[in-house]
């Protein structure tokens, strides 16, 4: 995506995941917003959003952050909300191992409290190490944590998978985490 589309995508992310009120938008309980209201609100905020640009952003977003309703009249973020929405996800069986990428500087806190959602609804996990490394790099020197998802599920934890394939869970206690050797992460 070119720089202008990235900027508009970040604005859409802000509105659909965190602050719909900045453009006077109201999300329903499941996080859906009318496409026409998103576009008109963006235009009022001087963000040059059109239906064609919105469709392009949704189609080209490498993380598939957004999804249209079947009729194309509504849109929502697939995950990552800091506001309460009910995505309607059903618990699913995870793979044996999942991965979480973060920055090295957060490791002491994680060793004490595990992975917590903090300002989001869920902790985000990936199915592969490469994605976790990429996520970790956004925050600094990356570190990858291996989540023993099979054990967690046996112990009663519920896992969800968002529309874009991100694995979601309320929290990951310390005893279910392994730290990848940082030399392996740098490769």
Distance (Å, whole) CA 56 – CA 66: 11
Whether the model pTM is above 0.85: no
pLDDT computed for residue 87 by the predictor: 82
Domains of the chain with bracketed CATH: 3-77 (1.10.10.970), 97-186 (3.20.170.30)
What average pLDDT values come out for the chain (187 residues) when binned by 10 residues? 88 95 94 97 96 95 89 92 84 97 93 90 93 89 95 97 90 94 51
pLDDT for the residue 111: 93
The pLDDT score that the predictor gives to residue 138 is 86
């Amino acid at each position: 995506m070119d720089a202008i589309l990235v900027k508009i995508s970040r604005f859409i992310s802000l509105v659909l995941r965190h602050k719909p009120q900045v453009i006077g938008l109201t999300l329903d309980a499941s996080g859906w917003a009318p496409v026409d209201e998103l576009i008109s609100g963006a235009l009022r905020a001087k963000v040059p959003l059109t239906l064609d640009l919105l469709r392009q952003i949704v189609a080209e977003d490498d993380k598939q952050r957004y999804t249209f309703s079947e009729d194309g009249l509504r849109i929502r973020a697939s995950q990552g909300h800091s506001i309460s929405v009910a995505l309607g996800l059903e618990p699913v069986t995870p793979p044996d191992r999942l991965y979480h990428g973060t920055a090295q500087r957060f490791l002491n806190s994680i060793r004490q409290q595990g992975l917590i959602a903090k300002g989001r609804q869920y902790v985000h996990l990936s199915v592969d190490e490469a994605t976790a490394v990429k996520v970790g790099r956004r925050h600094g020197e990356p570190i990858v944590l291996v989540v023993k998802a099979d054990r967690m599920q046996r112990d009663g934890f519920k896992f969800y998978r968002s529309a874009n394939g991100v694995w979601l869970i309320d929290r990951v206690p310390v005893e279910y985490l392994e730290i990848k050797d940082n030399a392996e992460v740098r490769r």
